[in-house]
Structure formats: structure tokens, C-alpha cells
Amino acid sequence: MKVLLHVCCGPCAIYPLEWLRSAGHEVTGVFYNPNIHPFKEFARRFETAVQWAKGVELSLMLDDAYGLEEFITLVKEDLKMPKRCAHCYRIRLRNVAQKAKTGGYDAFSTSLLVSPYQQHELIREIAEEVATETGVAFLYHDYREGWKRGVEQSRELELYRQPYCGCIFSEQDRYYKGAGRLLAHV
């Protein structure tokens, strides 16, 4: 099948691409991630995805528009997880499915399904909704079986590995431990 693979970042896409190719699929990638903030982080993940794709000879559709305003507008009524993440998954997967439809692909898939830190069942549910909406099949596979393998390969390739999920709220969750911490060091 001709498959359009959503690439959330280079390291996460390593195993999904390997699995899809080994299953005989013809794969094209697409980088569309308006959820990555701030801009320097977005640029770094974008450049890493491009670097990785060149190395594995993957044709990668690129969208380098920085989506901070688009994303904040989308999630402003639902800042907490899991509702925030549901919006985040949907906007990306809908975009990828629409590109798959326009480009005549048989199916779409996503590297988000490799991570044990993502909400796997929610991603699957939303991808199936989007498949119904667009009429393009969703190729599901539980890529988590290859998570460790992807981590090891990304380290061997010296690819940048991000320290938090992506949005500015996940950066806060990763680093901000509450008021008073900074004052304690003044």
C-alpha cells in the first residue's frame, strides 16, 4: 500500500518506518506539528526530522509554519490533559489524512503510536474518527514494540531527542515544580 506516515519527530519515526517498509508498504512522511513550542524547539525538531529522513531516503513533506497561535486558539478552552491532547492529536491527524486523500494514498499512520508516553488508545480512536471523516484508511499498528529499538538507533545516529512532549504546557509540566523554587535560590 501507499502509506502517508505522520512524523511527530525523527527519533519516534525510526521504528514505524522500519516496520512499514518491512511489511512491504511504500512510505512517504509528513512533518506537520503545530504543537511544538517554543520556536527554537520547533526548529530543532524540524531540522532533526529532515536530517533523519535524508539518511533513510524517506521523502518527507514539510510544513515549517510555526503553529503557536493556531495551537493556543485550538486548546484555550481545554488546557488540561487529556482534552488538550485530543485537540492536538486531531488537528495533526486530520491534516495528514487530508494530505493522504489529496495525494491518492491508500492509508495514513502516525509515529505517535510508538511512544509509551503518549495516550495510545486516544490516538487510535481519533485516527479512526478522522479516517471515517476523510474516507482514507488508518493503518494501525502498535509500534510500541519497537520503542527501545528506536531509542537506541536514534542515539547511535546522534539525533536530537526532545526532553518534553511538545506544547508549551508540556514544557511547564516537565520543568516547573511550583512557586517558591526560584525564590529559594535567590
Chain positions contacting ligand SF4, by CB under 6 A: 35, 81, 84-85, 88, 165-167, 169-170
Which of 58, 1, 70 lies closest to 31, judged by CA?
58
19 versus 169: smaller Cβ distance to ligand SF4: 169
CB of 104: closest distance to ligand SF4 in angstroms?
29
CB of 10: closest distance to ligand SF4 in angstroms?
16
85 versus 97: smaller Cβ distance to ligand SF4: 85
CB of 135: closest distance to ligand SF4 in angstroms?
25
Quote the CA–CA distance of 95 and 8 in Å, as a whole number: 13
CB of 35: closest distance to ligand SF4 in angstroms?
4
Q: Which helix (H) or strand (E) holds 74?
A: helix 68-75
Quote the CA–CA distance of 177 and 184 in Å, as a whole number: 12
Quote the CA–CA distance of 145 and 12 in Å, as a whole number: 12
CB of 80: closest distance to ligand SF4 in angstroms?
10
**Set of cell numbers at residue 61:** 513533506
143 versus 169: smaller Cβ distance to ligand SF4: 169
Exposed e or buried b for every residue in 59-98, given b needs 16+ CB within 10 A? ebeeeeebbbeebeebbeeeeeeeebbbbbbbbbbbbbbe
Quote the CA–CA distance of 74 and 84 in Å, as a whole number: 9
4 versus 171: smaller Cβ distance to ligand SF4: 171
**Set of cell numbers at residue 143:** 509500534
CB of 17: closest distance to ligand SF4 in angstroms?
21
51 versus 119: smaller Cβ distance to ligand SF4: 119
3 versus 36: smaller Cβ distance to ligand SF4: 36
